[in-house]
């Protein structure tokens, strides 16, 4: 018997319907099903904090946003994640709804591979509040961006505690290789193979001559300190974390725990990239 966790997109009825369908199928096969839901009366209902304990597989039913959420829920426990694309083409999802049963059969039979993806450890130090530092983790990125009604942010960027440059920009992105095809890509940052182990730092609309992205080796730590009385919003993997004030620091480094994504060898990152952008061979 395996323990399978299902994480459907909360606003997509087709994702919730697929979770019910595949959960019933798994139960008939004798497996334990856990469903992440706020509906406490659902027979498989499970709170986020209880999802990962003893879990053999987490199944994300949605798009890349749902994948990021699922990875965040099970990362610390090292649970592998299978992404099911319910919606638009995603970089992270592995199969479509029509292939989910076959994918689960293959996984349970051991006919799969685990792709290790580098994560980011994000440490938030807030002298402005006097609170203890907080650690978060990201599969894609950590972004310091101007508050909704604010001006450009100003920050002092350090690398391994050595001052590098002071930036004025709309945002500053620190991305993993996986996150290079997210916000980093729209900001004209480099596209990085998800198998690489680097940290990408990309300013967005920098008000200065030097506006190039930096590609750093994983041992290097990036620190962003807010200066000049400006506040900024911190967003981690697309989710607002909070508003930071002058003197607060965000430190980003390679995470100690890789995300574990289930793959069956049928998808190729470079082909997905070409399909996403409608690229063709010459």
pLDDT in tens, 8-23: 998 889 999 999 999 9
Binned at pLDDT 50, 70 and 90, residue 282 comes out as low
Q: Are 91 and 181 in contact (CB under 8 A)?
A: yes
pLDDT at 38: 82
H or E element, residue 251: strand 249-254
pTM for the structure as a whole = 0.92
106 in helix, strand or coil? helix
Average pLDDT, the chain: 93
pLDDT at 143: 98
DSSP E strands in 108-207: the ranges are: 113-117, 120-125, 134-138, 141-145, 153-159, 162-169, 171-175, 199-204
CATH of 3-117+258-276, one of 3.40.50.10330, 2.40.37.10, 3.30.390.30, 3.30.565.10: 3.40.50.10330
Looking at the domain covering 120-254, what would its CATH class be? mainly beta
Residue spans per domain, the chain = 3-117+258-276, 120-254
pLDDT at 278: 74
Q: Which residues are catalytic?
A: 64
Q: Average pLDDT for residues 221-239, to the nearest whole number?
A: 95
- Decide the pairing of beta strands 32-36 and 45-46: parallel
pLDDT at 173: 98
Residue predicted with more confidence, 165 or 266:
165
In this chain, the answer to whether the domains covering 3-117+258-276 and 120-254 adopt an identical fold is no
């Amino acid at each position: 018997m395996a323990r399978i966790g299902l994480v459907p997109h909360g606003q997509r009825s087709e994702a919730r319907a697929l979770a019910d369908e595949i959960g019933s199928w798994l139960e008939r096969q004798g497996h334990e099903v856990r469903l992440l839901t706020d509906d406490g009366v659902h027979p498989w209902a499970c709170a986020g904090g209880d999802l990962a304990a003893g879990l053999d597989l987490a199944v994300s039913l949605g798009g890349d946003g749902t994948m990021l959420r699922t990875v965040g829920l099970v990362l610390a426990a090292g649970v592998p994640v299978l992404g099911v694309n319910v919606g638009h083409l995603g970089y992270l999802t592995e199969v479509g709804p029509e292939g989910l049963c076959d994918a689960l059969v293959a996984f349970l039979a051991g006919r799969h591979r685990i792709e290790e993806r580098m994560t980011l450890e994000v440490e938030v130090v807030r002298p402005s509040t006097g609170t203890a530092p907080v650690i978060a983790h990201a599969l894609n990125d950590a972004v310091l961006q101007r508050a909704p009604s604010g001006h450009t942010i100003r920050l002092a960027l350090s690398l391994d505690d050595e001052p590098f440059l002071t930036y004025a920009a709309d945002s500053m992105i620190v991305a993993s290789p996986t996150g290079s095809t997210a916000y980093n890509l729209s900001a004209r940052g480099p596209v990085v193979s998800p198998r690489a182990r680097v940290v990408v730092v990309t300013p967005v609309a920098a008000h200065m001559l030097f506006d190039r992205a930096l590609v750093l080796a994983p041992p290097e730590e990036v620190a962003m300190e807010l200066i000049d009385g400006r506040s900024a919003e911190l967003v981690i993997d697309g989710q607002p974390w909070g508003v930071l004030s002058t003197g607060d620091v965000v430190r980003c480094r390679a995470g100690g725990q890789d995300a574990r994504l289930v793959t069956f060898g049928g998808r190729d990152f470079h082909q997905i990239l070409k399909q996403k952008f409608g690229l063709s061979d010459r």
